[in-house]
Amino acid sequence: MAKPKNSGVDEYIAECPGGARAGLAAIRTAIRAVAPGATERTDYFRMPGYSFPGFDYDGMFAWFSFKPPCLRLHVRPPVLQDHREEVAGYPTTKAIVSFPVGEPVPRRLVKKLVKASLTAMKDKAKKKA
- Segment holding 52, helix H or strand E: none
Cα→Cα distances 126→5, 61, 68, Å = 32, 15, 37
Give the pLDDT mean for 11-31: 97
Residue 2 has pLDDT above 50, yes or no: no
Contact 124, 42 (CB under 8 A): no
Q: Give per-residue pLDDT as tens, 44-89.
A: 788 999 999 999 989 999 999 999 999 999 999 999 999 999 999 9
To the question of pTM greater than 0.95 for the whole model, the response is no
**pLDDT at site 118:** 96
The CATH number given to 9-128 is 3.90.1150.200
Eight-class DSSP state of 42:
S
Contact 123, 85 (CB under 8 A): no
Domain ranges of the chain: 9-128
